[in-house]
Chain A
Amino acid sequence: MYALIIDDSRAMRRILSKIVMPLGLEVVEAENGQDGLDRLEEMEPPEVILVDWNMPVMNGLDFVKTVRADGRYANQKIMMVTTETEPAQMVRALMAGVDEFAMKPFTADVLVEKMKLIGVRLPNPVSSNE
């Protein structure tokens, strides 16, 4: 079972991986939306996609729109992990098909609880970070 983590910051990908891996998910990383689409084609459907909004090449919003336009990923769990907090931006992302938000900065507990909230299956739901 996999998590796909898409963020242009390697540091942020590492932080997210450190939270997700103890939950029993293997991590596949991508550095922008286009890279995320390429990874998604290569891998089995992930349990969850954690995607940043502001990235070069392809941003997170366009990534989500592209994924949702593909019928294979109709039930894919997608969480935006972002600094975007304005209600107008949230509406835009929700209309594109995002399931949930976590705002940077976040804690491990917040991220885990939000994944549980949207029904992400976690092999080891008690994080070692707790």
Chain B
Amino acid sequence: MDLKQRNKWLLYLNTHSWQDHLFWAGREIEREQMIVDVPTMDQIISNVFDEMLCMPTSPSDSGLECSVVGRIVASIRITGAMEKLIVVEAPMATASLIGETMFDAEHDTLPEEEIRDAVGEIVNMIGGNVKGMCEGESTLSLPCVSVENSELSIPDGGEQTIVNVAGSPILVRWHDMPVATV
């Protein structure tokens, strides 16, 4: 299943009944293990922000500043046929913007707890969509969200993409990661 087929599948799921889901899944979709590359992740991010939250996304030219402190880090694990760790990092300003949109709140009025909840749901949706690319059965953990004040540190390995959401950057990285090492 390539990216085009994957997007067709996602669109189909939300525009047809469950009977059609299973008919289509059984007949036409080859649910092979799909490589989660940067274009695929960018599309998933766009589905979450552009389509659901009406927050326009665009590629980031500048990246996420390594000196950024005070940021929300949300992670989620996929275990089973697929073993991945997915992490969303957002400077507090970006995280606040996302939270304000999801909660329909005024600027600078949202408590940190609500901001963490919002970013946790973002990584949950991204993780769920990645999990859906796998042929075998996998399990999605509950999201883990923290506020980090240390400098941004991106470990070796894995892949990442930086996307501007309504003009503010977020970083999404994903790693193949056996459960024992998480």
- Chain B residues with CB under 8 Å of A101's CB are 13, 18, 21
Q: Which residues of chain A from 89 to 105 have any CB-CB distance to chain B below 8 Å in the complex?
A: 89-91, 94, 98, 100-105
Quick check: which of A40-48, A68-76, A77-85 contacts chain B, the rest being far away?
A77-85
Are A85 and B26 CB-contacts (below 8 A) given A8-B142, A54-B124, A101-B21? no
A90 to B22 alpha-carbon distance, docked (Å):
8
CB-nearest residue of chain B to A106 = B14
Per-position 1/0 for A90-130, Cβ under 8 A of B:
11001000101111111100100110010000000000000
Q: Which of A86, A89, A94, A105 contacts B125 (CB 8 A)?
A: A105
Q: Which residues of chain B from 115 to 168 have any CB-CB distance to chain A below 8 Å in the complex?
A: 117-118, 120-121, 124-125, 127-129, 131-132, 134, 137, 140, 142
A100 to B26 alpha-carbon distance, docked (Å):
18
Interface size class of B (residues with CB under 8 A): 35 or more
Interface check B108, CB cutoff 8 A: no
Per-position 1/0 for B92-130, Cβ under 8 A of A:
000000010011100000000010011011001101110
Q: Which of A11, A56, A85, A98 contacts B121 (CB 8 A)?
A: A11
Residues of A within 8 A of B (CB): 8-12, 14-15, 18, 54-56, 82-91, 94, 98, 100-107, 110, 113-114, 117
Residues of B within 8 A of A (CB): 9-10, 13-15, 17-18, 21-22, 25-26, 31, 47-48, 51-53, 99, 102-104, 114, 117-118, 120-121, 124-125, 127-129, 131-132, 134, 137, 140, 142
Closest-CB distance, A44 to chain B (whole angstroms): 27
CB-nearest residue of chain A to B143 = A9
Report whether B22 and A87 are in contact in the complex, using a CB–CB cutoff of 8 Å.
yes
- Chain A residues with CB under 8 Å of B127's CB are 83
Report whether A11 and B129 are in contact in the complex, using a CB–CB cutoff of 8 Å.
no
Q: List 8 A-B contacts (CB under 8 A).
A: A15-B102, A85-B132, A87-B21, A94-B18, A101-B18, A102-B14, A105-B53, A114-B14
- Chain A residues with CB under 8 Å of B52's CB are 15, 104-107
B13, B25, B104, B121: most-surrounded residue (chain A CB, <10 A): B121
Closest-CB distance, A77 to chain B (whole angstroms): 13
CB-nearest residue of chain B to A105 = B52
